């Protein structure tokens, strides 16, 4: 099996952004340099297994997701919730009330 290191870097960047982390944040959490994190995300460096595990811990994900793109249902739900939360931050009070009514309707209708 060949590992797609370009996809691995893209997954790291995507997950980092979902968590609103910068490359500096991940570098600090892993003890790696910002440049090295950038090089991994941009497919200029291949991380060791130890490095990959440090990154997984820093961005709260699994090696399966980073290496293979396989997410558990829990990870997928967490990503979706994070994305929704980020979009909610962009809404004013009027839109938030509308969203709340819509969510209540969806729950009540058992859709």
Total count of domains within the chain: 2
| Mean pLDDT, range 74-86, rounded to an integer | 80
Distance CA 27, CA 21 (A): 10
What is the pTM for the complete model shown? 0.64
Of 18, 23, 16, 26, give the one whose Cα is nearest residue 85.
18
Distance CA 13, CA 22 (A): 9
Residues 80 and 31 in one domain: no
Average pLDDT across the chain, whole number: 91
HSE-up of 47 (CA within 13 Å, CB side)?
28
Q: Are 69 and 7 in contact (CB under 8 A)?
A: yes
How many residues in total does the chain contain? 111
pLDDT band, very low/low/confident/very high, at 79 (cuts 50, 70, 90): confident
Task: Tally Cβ neighbours within 10 Å of residue 56.
Answer: 19
Residue 83 confidence (pLDDT): 86
What CATH number corresponds to the domain at position 62? 1.10.260.40
pLDDT band, very low/low/confident/very high, at 28 (cuts 50, 70, 90): very high
Q: Which domain holds residue 98?
A: 74-108
Residue with the bigger pLDDT between 76 and 94: it is 94
């Amino acid at each position: 099996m060949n590992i797609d290191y370009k996809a691995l870097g893209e997954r790291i960047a995507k997950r980092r952004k979902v968590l609103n982390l910068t490359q500096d944040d991940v570098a600090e959490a892993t003890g790696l340099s910002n440049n090295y994190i950038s090089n991994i995300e941009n497919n200029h460096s291949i991380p060791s297994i130890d490095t990959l595990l440090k990154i997984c811990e820093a961005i709260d994900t699994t090696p399966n997701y980073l290496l293979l793109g396989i997410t558990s249902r829990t990870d997928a739900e967490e990503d979706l919730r994070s994305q929704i939360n980020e979009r909610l931050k962009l809404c004013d009070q009027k839109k938030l009330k509308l969203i709340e009514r819509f969510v209540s309707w969806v729950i009540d209708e058992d859709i």
